[in-house]
Amino acid sequence: MAADDKHVKRRPGGLGRGLSALLGDDPVAEAAPRATREVPIEKLHPNRYQPRTRFDDAAIEDLAASIKARGILQPILVRPSTSRPGEFEIVAGERRWRAAQRARLHEVPVVERALSDNESLEIAIVENVQRQDLSPIDEARGYRRLIEEFGHSQQDVADVVSKSRPHVANMTRLLTLPEKVQALLEIGELSAGHARALVTSDNAEWLAQEIVARGLNVRQAEELARGESRAGGRGPVRPAKDADTRALEKQLSEALGLQVSIDHKGPGGSVSIKYRTLDQLEDVTGRLAGGR
């Protein structure tokens, strides 16, 4: 971030202006062009302050298909590039830009605004955390940056992203978890609900591994965490799986191409198979039915 931008005086209520204000009437940007115009797609470049660390490939493909059918319905918000004269940096709309490239568009609609680094970062964070497909960790990082770098209160952030203040507080607490647990959140192995059960645990990493391996739901994860707490954080509440069980889990996982967990309970037990898509479920059903 440029040194000059650290001293930019933000507008009162700037966080609450929202993207609609930037794409429509904006008293702060009266000198900037207001009309949407078409710009060659290669003249646009990603935001240096993009808070999103992962872009879901399937979602981009779906958006590209929609763009092919209906075009880009909302223009991309850009600002002039400081390093490439005549070109632009995306402030909000990088997913649309990526999808437009896959849809083989030559030009995209943009609205240009003269924004500082601070404003660009702030808008990019707000635009991203309002989306439902942002990972819990990216969402939490966005909230933390709005609070720490821009001096907004948790209530300010909650108001602008249409969430409750406790939600913002709970999400930011996820950043206190060990890095390995945060990584499981980023790739979707754990949900935010799972992770909240681990925030106060001194054994969060082991608990996370158990939750994933056993395919526990949020309520089961909370029970596991409570049991671990009662045990004084000394490790597994139930006996660790023996080598034969782990070997069988590995064998079944390799055969099915999915994560398999075996849980012994007395003389019997259960076998859990974790799938992420309906295609995977249909595939494993076919295998077990002997149809493939």
Lowest-confidence pick of 5-14, 74-83, 279-288: 5-14
* Top-confidence range, 42-56, 86-100, 118-132, 261-275: 86-100
Which of 92, 146, 95, 142 shows the shortest CA–CA distance to 120?
Answer: 92
* Residue 10: pLDDT band with limits 50, 70, 90: very low
> Between the ranges 5-9, 86-90, 116-120, where is the mean pLDDT highest?
86-90
The residues, ordered by sequence, that sit 6+ positions from 248 with a Cβ below 8 Å of its Cβ are: 262
What pLDDT does residue 21 have?
55
With a pLDDT cut of 70, the percent of the chain lying above it is 80
State the DSSP string of 154-175: HHHHHHHTT--HHHHHHHHHGG
pTM of structure: 0.60
Task: Decide if pLDDT at 220 tops 50.
Answer: yes
Residue 200, pLDDT > 70, answer yes
Q: Report helix angle 136-148 to 117-129, nearest 10.
A: 140
Nearest-10 Cα torsion for 251, 198, 193, 123: -110
Least confident of 109-118, 161-170, 218-227, 281-290: 281-290
Residue 196 to residues 112, 134, 218: CA-CA distances in angstroms?
Answer: 40, 17, 9
Q: What digits encode the pLDDT tens for the residues 106-151?
A: 999 999 998 887 788 778 777 777 766 678 898 898 888 888 888 8
Average confidence (pLDDT) over 211-219: 90
CA geometry: angle 93, 95, 97, nearest 5 deg: 70
Strand locations in 7-156, DSSP E?
37-40, 44-45, 76-80, 88-92, 107-112
Check pLDDT > 70 for residue 244: yes
Please tell me the total number of residues recorded for the chain in this structure. Answer: 292
The CA-based diameter of the chain, rounded to the nearest angstrom, is: 77
pLDDT value at 104 more than 90: yes
Q: Quick one: 206 exposed, middle or buried, by C-beta within 10 A (0-12, 13-18, 19+)? A: middle
Q: Do the beta carbons of residue 233 and residue 202 sit within 8 Å?
A: yes
pLDDT category at 229 given cuts 50, 70, 90 is low
- Domain segments of the chain as ranges: 3-170, 187-230, 243-288
Report, at the CATH architecture level, how domain 3-170 is classified: Alpha-Beta Complex (3.90)
94 is catalytic: yes
> CB count, 10 Å around CB of 212?
17
What is the pLDDT, as a whole number, of residue 30? Answer: 41
Choosing from 38, 61, 87, 94, the catalytic residue is 94
State which H helix or E strand residue 149 sits in: none
Q: Three-class SS of residue 89?
A: strand
Q: What is the mean pLDDT of residues 70-80?
A: 91
